[in-house]
Amino acid sequence: MNTGNLLSLVLPELLLIAAACVLFLLGVFPGKAARMAVPFVALLALLAAMTTQLTYQSDPAVISADPSDSIRLAGMAIYIKTLAAAMGALFVLLSWPTDRNRGGNSAVQYGADATGEYFALLLLCISGIFLVAGANDLILLFLGIELASIPTYIMVSISRPLPVAQEAGVKYFFLGAMSAAVLLLGMSYLYGSTGLIDLHQIAEHFAANRTGVLSNWELLGVLMVMAGLSFKMAAVPLQFYAGDVYEGAATPVTALLSFVPKTSGLVALVKILWMVGGGTWQTPENIARLVAVIAMLTMTVGNVLGLMQHNVKRVFACSSIAHSGYLLVGVAAVITGKSQNALGGVLFYLAAYGLMNVAAFGVLMLLPSRSNRPATSAETFEELAGTGREHLALGLAMAVACFSLTGLPFTIGFWGKAFLIVPSLSVGNTGLVVVMMINAAISAGYYLKIVGVMFLRPVAHASETASAKQDTGRPAPITIAIALSTAAVLALGIVLPMTEVLRTKTVQSSQIDSLPTPPTASAAR
Amino acid sequence: MLLPLLILIPLVGAGIGAFVTSRTAKAWALVVSLLTAAAAIGAAASFDFHASGVVQLQYPAATLVESHFGLVDIGFEPRVGVDSISLWLVLLTVLLMPPAILASFDSIKERPREYYAWMLVLLAAMNGVFISRDLLLFYIFFELTLIPMFFIIGIWGGPQRRYAAGKFFLFTFGGSVFTLAAVIYLGISAHSFDLTDVTRYAQQTLTESQRWWVLLGLLAGLAVKVPLFPVHTWLPLAHTEAPTAGSVILAGVLLKLGTYGLLRLVVPIGLVTAGGIAFYDFIYFLGGLCVIGILYGALVAWVQQDIKKLVAYSSVSHLGFCVLGLAALNAIGMQGSVLYMINHGLSTGAMFLVIGMIYDRFHTRDINELSGLARKLPRLAFFFVFFMLSSIGLPGLNGFVSEFLTVLGAFTSDRLGITFGVFAAIGVILGALYMLHMTARVIFGPLKYPGFSGTDEHGHGAGHEAHEGTSHAPVSDIGAREIGLLLPIAAAVILLGILPRSVLSTIASPIDMLLHPVPARSTAQAPVQSEPLVITSARP
């Protein structure tokens, strides 16, 4: 195994981190030209990273590992990296600096002297997802999760000059630090009880002394890891922070929050569960049951809370919790070990969820706010009232996003839900599916409320802020992001050949690793 | 290729309609709906009515086996096709749509482009439901109808439109998510979503308890759409608040999606087996809900003050007959039921059109404020009474035959029997009572309408009060456009009243095939598995 191969394993991570360093440096330059260049550099880095993954291997099932076996790339890792880079590019578009001094746009304000930092942090947290996707040992996994999380703490705080953002940032940071501690403690128990840090080897260890039950220490470790990851995913029992943090952060950062930590948490959880199942996808009964219970609670808590919210960003926070629940329904089907394409369903849904959210938050950003606080987009239902009539295109984009989140046909959300239900039913998780369908019906309540408020209510009064915002025009990057994501949501819902391409891709990518061990890894041991 | 046109023409038309000027939008929508009607008539012309039970005009054709359109890995390969039942309902849809659009010409002034675009999307979705030969495709179009209707009620409806639109959407969606679960369960068990395959699989392979849950899941969504008794509450509100055309389509076609789904899915997949009928007790339950709906709907309709609400509750009652005929599970009842779907669509749709014309003139639908309209508007009164009589089932008009057949079906059914038949027959009488009661007050008697308070027919006595100006506001009788849009429906009403056999003879054979599925000859006949599936099912 030469170093050239090792380099190719972590090439996208290196690309992003190098670009982040460049951006940190660019931030020092006072000139406007440097600030103008920042988002382009970020976008290019992400697109380059995506290209490396798209061209990485023709066969995603092939696994490559580095000599020390701390990184393994298989189908899922490559898919997640591609997806994260693409979503990252959309997030860059959403936070594109368009105001006079290039310190943000109407919905986010990181200040002229922090433009570089903001985009560098964005790249860092995407590279964190990359690391999680590729990680094959506990330490690297933990590092990846934290690399995906820590920049978001800062981004929440610097995203707008308001006390509420500071509060959200601090709250998010402390709770995040706590969850990281729980996660790390859990990992240390896993290490302590098995003596191994290599996921693959731990999986072999579990497979070797397979009695169907975990020892108490192992169980404790797994439970703590799951608890820590549930914070990242915004899943029960650590979902409570989501409302405050989503509301406090500027809207593009909220969009990022709904995708980046969730993805890193979900991927890590899938890997840990794979490991606990001894590499066979069949986890012990009690863990499987726990995942099912968490899924049910997460969906229900998210959706019921969503019905009660007055702030649209809080609604999307609850929707984010609920969607973690749906994803966990998919995971619950994966870990029965009976369905080959259950993980494909989860991966498909992740992409669907990211796209729908970018569309929804993008529309929120472009809608005028009544309050004159800086960097504030439309947030309350009153501010949304009648906006669908005033701005028909934006209204339709939001309607598409909301209907897709509800899971109506002709959108990607429908197929996403279908691909979660299909494996769940075929492995016999009927109860979970029923709970999920009840939840889909509940969630229709608040998604429909958003669409209803935008289209069916009259505009409260012709606000001056609206006309003021019209004058500045709609920033092209945000419009592009909305257009791209809405088009993708619709196209992947209607044009079945396209849906099938993504479906095939996700099903083929549902591979983390495989036993028996490839020779290189055993040689390295 | 004719059948996909039924979906494509209105969809493309809606897309183009978004870019025409506001003024031409309505004309464009009318043209598109007429083109769709032409496509449907073309389909009917090339349909072989001698083999009416056979699915015809399939697209992609059954011979094109390797048409890999769809999501093969979950067994979704959409296909459209019609037998005579579907074809008649498609014809009903395309017959009602142009009048509904014509009726909106004057009443829809706000944002006409969007309105007509949504109407055309609705047309596409309804046609899609009727021509789907695929379970998942059926569900997709079934759900798609929600979106345009939500906007049509919510934007162009009456004072309580927002609440009505939300309730309509949430009720229907809340029921149909369980239908989705049942549909996907059937699809992955049968390794195909093709209606024929799934039906055969359900009848031959599913265990009793599996069928039971599938039945409940399917029923959850369809019963709300029909609507059956306890889940009917969205309907009167939606009907009352919707604009005229919305009510017409809602009553005329959307409710039929529910009964059509019951006929197409619940009966063959849930109830009929090769050896006979499954779930004996459940049919009592279903029939009981229908009878309660018939009587309850009729009694509530009787006390309504709003004409539109009265007709809405009459729909609850009428749809009870329709489902009762299905639940009879004999040829008479089910033929009556299918005929009932068409007849109810025609007469209730037309009733809503006429009520819309009254509302356009007087801006009220309150029975207490309207009286003796026949004196002022004789032509309108003629059509009102005509469609009212068709709705209560006057012999010679269309409603009679189907009502008679469904009640007869209930009587002769070896499940439901005399008790259900008697109660349904009481519903027939009640139906005549409330309709005649309302007509007597609104159409006959002394002339009265808002702004006209005097007893003098010539309007001289009206000027005493503050309504000086409005009392002389010209209230004209219906004109050529309005007569023109009612005439085709009236013609259909008379034709179906005189010649119900023209429909009944063609729907006999598909219903016979529904009721008497071919028993499994050998195990080799079991579901065709054309594709090797990636899915590993828990079941072998």
Q: Does B111 touch chain A (CB under 8 A)?
A: yes
Spell out the residues 6+ positions from residue A114 whose beta carbon is closer than 8 angstroms to its own.
A27, A103, A158
Q: How many other β-carbons are positioned within 10 Å of the β-carbon of residue B50?
A: 8
- Nearest CA distance, B405 vs chain A (angstrom): 37
| Global pTM value | 0.90
Residue A329 has pLDDT above 60, yes or no: yes
- Cβ–Cβ below 8 Å for B162 and A456: yes
pLDDT, residue B522, reads 47
pLDDT mean over A483-497: 93
pLDDT, residue B175, reads 93
Q: Does B94 touch chain A (CB under 8 A)?
A: no
Do A324 and A262 touch, CB atoms closer than 8 A? Answer: yes
pLDDT mean over B99-128: 91
Spell out the residues 6+ positions from residue B38 whose beta carbon is closer than 8 angstroms to its own.
none
| Average of per-residue pLDDT values in chain A | 87
- Cβ–Cβ below 8 Å for A507 and B151: no
Per-residue pLDDT tens over the stretch B428-473: 999 999 999 999 999 988 888 887 755 544 444 444 444 444 444 5
pLDDT, residue B462, reads 42
- Cβ–Cβ below 8 Å for A338 and B180: no
- Cβ–Cβ below 8 Å for A428 and B155: no
Residue B180 has pLDDT above 80, yes or no: yes
Cα–Cα distance for residue pair A364/A376, rounded to 1 Å = 10
pLDDT mean over B172-191: 92
Helix, strand, coil share (%) of chain B residues, nearest 5 = 75, 5, 25
Cα–Cα distance for residue pair B64/A206, rounded to 1 Å = 50
* Token pair 């360093």: residue: A21
Residue A214: closest CA among A265, A273, A269, A291: A273
- Cβ–Cβ below 8 Å for A339 and B165: no
Per mean pLDDT, which range of A169-178, B223-232, B277-286, B432-441 is the poorest?
Answer: B277-286
The SS3 of residue B474 is: coil
Q: What is the DSSP string of A387-416?
A: HHHHSHHHHHHHHHHHHHHHT-TTSHHHHH
**DSSP letter, residue A461:** S
- Cβ–Cβ below 8 Å for B535 and A437: no
* Token pair 């103008």: residue: A36
pLDDT, residue A522, reads 35
Cα–Cα distance for residue pair A216/A199, rounded to 1 Å = 19
Per mean pLDDT, which range of B276-280, B301-305, B460-464 is the poorest?
Answer: B460-464
pLDDT mean over A76-81: 91
**pLDDT band for position A524 (50/70/90)?**
very low
How far is CA B333 from its chain centroid? 18
* Token pair 């035959």: residue: B401
Residue A483 has pLDDT above 80, yes or no: yes
Q: Residue ranges of the alpha helices (H) in B373-522? A: 373-376, 378-392, 398-412, 417-442, 468-471, 480-498, 501-515
The CA-atom distances, in angstroms, between B251 and each of A136, A270, B235, B400, B494 are 60, 49, 9, 19, 20
Per-residue pLDDT tens over the stretch A464-480: 444 444 445 678 999 99
pLDDT mean over A362-383: 84
Tokens of B33: 């709906």
Per-residue pLDDT tens over the stretch A12-67: 999 999 999 999 998 888 788 888 889 999 999 999 999 988 887 655 555 666 67
pLDDT, residue A461, reads 62
DSSP element (H, E) containing B97: helix B84-107
Q: Does B112 touch chain A (CB under 8 A)?
A: no
Q: Does B4 touch chain A (CB under 8 A)?
A: no
Residue B67 has pLDDT above 60, yes or no: no
b/e for B133-149, b at 16 or more Cβ within 10 A?
A: bbbbbbbbbbbbbbbbb
Cα–Cα distance for residue pair A102/A36, rounded to 1 Å = 7
Per-residue pLDDT tens over the stretch A421-440: 999 998 989 999 999 999 99
pLDDT, residue A468, reads 45
Cα–Cα distance for residue pair A294/A284, rounded to 1 Å = 16
pLDDT mean over B164-183: 94
pLDDT mean over B92-114: 90
Cα–Cα distance for residue pair A37/A119, rounded to 1 Å = 11
| Average of per-residue pLDDT values in chain B | 86
Per mean pLDDT, which range of B63-77, B225-239, B409-423 is the poorest?
Answer: B63-77
The CA-atom distances, in angstroms, between A273 and each of A269, A456, B130, B461 are 6, 46, 45, 86
Q: Does A494 touch chain B (CB under 8 A)?
A: no
b/e for A185-203, b at 16 or more Cβ within 10 A?
A: bbbebbbebbebbbbbbbb
Per mean pLDDT, which range of A71-75, A91-95, B236-240, B389-393 is the poorest?
Answer: A71-75
**pLDDT band for position B138 (50/70/90)?**
very high
For chain B, what percent of residues have pLDDT higher than 70?
Answer: 90
How far is CA B42 from its chain centroid? 22
- Nearest CA distance, A98 vs chain B (angstrom): 31
Per mean pLDDT, which range of A66-80, A213-227, A284-298, A503-517 is the poorest?
Answer: A503-517
Do B38 and B63 touch, CB atoms closer than 8 A? Answer: no
CB-CB neighbors (< 8 A) of A422 in chain B: 74, 184, 187-188, 535
Q: Does B79 touch chain A (CB under 8 A)?
A: no
Residue B487 has pLDDT above 70, yes or no: yes
The CA-atom distances, in angstroms, between B471 and each of B321, B454, B462, B467, B478 are 43, 9, 6, 6, 19
Do B356 and B393 touch, CB atoms closer than 8 A? Answer: no
Tokens of B429: 């009488």
**pLDDT band for position B106 (50/70/90)?**
confident
- Nearest CA distance, A428 vs chain B (angstrom): 7
What is the number of CB-based contacts under 8 A between chain A and chain B?
A: 109
b/e for B300-312, b at 16 or more Cβ within 10 A?
A: bbbebebbbbbbb
Residue B388 has pLDDT above 90, yes or no: yes
- Nearest CA distance, A490 vs chain B (angstrom): 13
pLDDT mean over B258-287: 86
pLDDT mean over A322-330: 96
Q: Phi and psi for A135 in degrees, rounded to 5?
A: -60, 140
Q: Does A495 touch chain B (CB under 8 A)?
A: no
Q: How many other β-carbons are positioned within 10 Å of the β-carbon of residue B65?
A: 11
Which is more confident, B118 or B274? B118
Residue B72 has pLDDT above 80, yes or no: no
Q: How many other β-carbons are positioned within 10 Å of the β-carbon of residue B467?
A: 15
Q: Does A254 touch chain B (CB under 8 A)?
A: no
For chain B, what percent of residues have pLDDT higher than 90?
Answer: 56
CB-CB neighbors (< 8 A) of B146 in chain A: 408
Closest chain B residue to A386, measured at CA: B155
Residue B158 has pLDDT above 80, yes or no: yes
Q: What is the DSSP string of B344-370?
A: HHHHHHHHHHHHHHHHHHHS--BGGG-
b/e for B410-443, b at 16 or more Cβ within 10 A?
A: bbbbebbeeebbebbbebbebbbebbeebbebbb
